Structure 1
Amino acid sequence: MPGDSAFASVSLLLHADGANGSTTLTDQSINALVPSALGGAQLSTAQKRYGTASLLSGQSAGAFARYASNPAFGFGTADLTLESSVFITAGTGTDRNLLDFRDANGSDTMVLFINSANHLCIWTGALSGDVGPALALNTWYDLALTRASGVFRAFVDGVQVWSASPAVDFGASRPLGVGAAVFSGSVGTGLLPAHIDEVRITKGLARYTSNYTPAGPFPNGAYAISGTVRDDADMPASRTVRAYYRATGALAGSAVSDAATGAYELGTLTADECSVLFLDDAAGAVYNDRVLRVTPG
């Protein structure tokens, strides 16, 4: 998969991949944000839109990913793109929050949510209402919301389902709740019982202004290095793969190869030549002293 030329503008990138039951939710953006709380939310391999797992939210009180207020989520009046894949499991008859940036119930706030009739909805303070068709339970959907030059557009599986132009300033810094409300006084309300996958938030760019074809998983950088790893018996192997810029020695990116296929892909911010290392144990020993010299593509 090619890299993402706008990767430097990505505020948050969650693949939600990992072991079943894991409470490690890794942000692959350059911000490397860590949730301040998960409250019982965890990775699940039972359902996944892309990759190996998804974030299972809303199964108990407070089970959602909460991020502290950060300028990465302070969109102001600029363009933006919010993306997520969601597999809703329950909650018909209640409003359930997918992405909530509210630090208060004020007029300059935003939440992307699923309403009581399972319609995709947006609340901005200046606007509230359905923005798309009803979503079936236990079905994967790729959802996106963009703002381009003041025009909001919502997409379900790549098809534009709504547009409007409310004048709203989202401020310089906001918290984020993935799967529930995050603002003070109502933290954890509006829980979304769902599998949530491939969350990407892009600040300053509207990636879509017309129908598009969803694809995933999203790239981890502006450029990509990919390949396969095989062990001494020439079998596919799971290994930690790390790329370092040859000119500076700085870490360019990392990944873990797939145990079944040996395939890996990691992203880098530049196309500068890299040394790629394959680590075969927790102590960090280099697998067969294998080092590749690679130019990201």
Structure 2
Amino acid sequence: MQFKNQTAVSDFLLLGLTDDPELQPLIFSLFLSMYLITILGNLLIILAISSDYHLHTPMFFFLSILALSDICLSTTTIPKMLVNIQAQDQSITYIGCLTQSTFVVIFAGLESCILAVMAYDRYAAICQPLRYQVILTPDFSVFLVLLSLVISTSHALLHNLMALRLSFCTNMQISHFFCELAQIFKLACSDIFINTLLVYSAANIFFGVHVAGIIFSYAKIFFSVFRMPTVAGRYKAFSTCGSHLSVVSLFYGTGFGVYFSSTVSDSSTKNAVASVLYIVIPQMINPFIYSLRNREIKIALHLLIMGKPFIFLCD
């Protein structure tokens, strides 16, 4: 098969969330604020973890990777939208559009992988505490992150290389604020059956394995926790999982909500607005979840903001 686009496509048009010019300044301000909060919150998480050697454990290492993935995912979509609004130019090049859709799939997939890895980390810490440091060694933790990146990149390239075989019609308007792969397929004049089948089958396998891994890990965790003799032990075990469970629920809950809403609604505008729930909101809220529910992160953030991170290191 020759991966070659059959139509000379120069630009796509990203229609955004609304075509009302009076709402554009409000949308610009709202998304700029959310983007800055996302960048600042996740950067603080990364800096807090890196500045405190007490947090140099697999759990917080994976958390820092999750924060970095959140930054990358938001940066892939929001800045282009803000530039288009400010310049009053909705265009994005063909190569730029495919590149954006590739990175969206990569970082969304990486986030899903890391959440599954974090569930495995909690399983090892609670169900096999005596072997935890043997299982989650620094080298193995780095390997899991690199493996997650390779898998998510391969998953993204598979779909976007297949998109190169498509030819496109004269209507190049994407009813979205970023280049979503499904929206690109809708503009194609050629047969998209193989592409659609591949997207849904691969996505179901890719995300299904992660969800199954998370469910399996927490089933083992709950069974192990309920066998603990003391209430204090149970509370401590559950407290280490609370933040991760909240993030998992937010990520997959919004993702599945958008997926099911797109299947029952033909409105492109409603689907674009719903996509904000999984491409913008979780990345902005994740730092707050971990900073509010995790004592170690709260202490590290406090000392970092106060400019005294090394006092805690010496205690």
Query: Normalization by structure 1: what TM-score?
Result: 0.24
Query: Considering only CA atoms, is the larger Rg found in Structure 1 or Structure 2?
Result: 2
Q: Give the helix-richer structure, 1 or 2.
A: 2
Task: Give the alignment's TM-score, normalised by structure 2.
Answer: 0.23
Higher relative contact order structure (alpha carbons within 8 Å, sequence separation ≥ 6): 2
